[in-house]
Amino acid sequence: MEKRIDRENWNRDAHDKLFARLEVPFYSLTWRADVTEAVAFAKRRGVPFYSVMIWVTMRAINGVEAFRYELRGDEVWLLDRRNPSYTYPWDDELFGICGLEWRDDEDPVSFALRMREAERNNPAPVPTAEADEAGHDVYISCLPWMDYTHITQEFPLDNTDSTPRVMWGRFETDEKGRKTLSYTVQVNHRLIDGIHLKRLSEGLCGAIHALEAL
């Protein structure tokens, strides 16, 4: 169950207040992620690589407490979990946005099937403002047509915006057959520091390696 954080006993209260002075406390980091096992799993189990990447991303994000903090006015809440809100091909070079409830005990194949069903039943390509604000989401997208070195994402000029934004590019294969891609995470410095991005990177790597046994 989600709970409100007691600011007086919250170890980063001073850090939050420091970055709350800024109109734009957001920053992003891009690194090369080794996705060799994710590509192999997608081929072996006949599911889209994109769905596998969303699955490992959500496992990693929900495994780091700082990524589940949410600012609500002057209050800070700790969420049970975050849910993916992701882009997918819609029609005529447009994209759709689809939200899905995250389930901790779900395997990536079942998750991929639920993604397909949610997309098939999605009534409109983009959600209304009310629907967009209803969930505790992670915004996820990809740029499958190209590799990149850095990218920035859109965000509101609201320094309480607590939604992590994740994007990745096309994977490239090196001479040893390893497959890597640029992986970008954009966060609010009021809630998330570099150490938390390191833990996310480690969690992502662990979730990808765990695919070998599935």
- Which stretches does DSSP call E strand in the chain? 3-4, 26-34, 69-72, 75-78, 83-89, 95-99, 137-143, 165-169, 172-173, 179-188
Cβ pair 64, 77 in contact under 8 A: no
Average pLDDT score over the chain: 95
Nearest of 70, 58, 30, 53 to residue 192 by alpha carbon: 70
| DSSP per-residue letters across 112-140 | HHHHHHHHHT-SSSS--HHHHTTS-EEEE
Q: What are phi and psi of 68, to 5 degrees?
A: -105, 5
SS3 38: helix
Calculate mean pLDDT across residues 82-106. Answer: 94
So what's the pLDDT on residue 130? 58
So what's the pLDDT on residue 60? 98
- Write out pLDDT tens, residues 167-183: 999 999 999 999 999 99
So what's the pLDDT on residue 129? 64
* Domains of the chain, first to last: 3-213 (3.30.559.10)
- Write out pLDDT tens, residues 96-153: 999 999 999 999 999 999 999 999 999 889 886 655 655 579 999 999 999 999 898 9
SS3 157: coil
- Write out pLDDT tens, residues 26-53: 999 999 999 999 999 999 999 999 999 9
Calculate mean pLDDT across residues 63-85. Answer: 96
- Which stretches does DSSP call E strand in 9-106? 26-34, 69-72, 75-78, 83-89, 95-99
pTM of the shown model: 0.96
Cα separation, 169 vs 153, whole angstroms = 13
Cα separation, 58 vs 208, whole angstroms = 12
Rounded to 10°, the helix 194-210/36-45 angle is 40
Q: What are phi and psi of 195, to 5 degrees?
A: -60, -30
Cβ pair 205, 36 in contact under 8 A: no
Cα separation, 117 vs 119, whole angstroms = 5
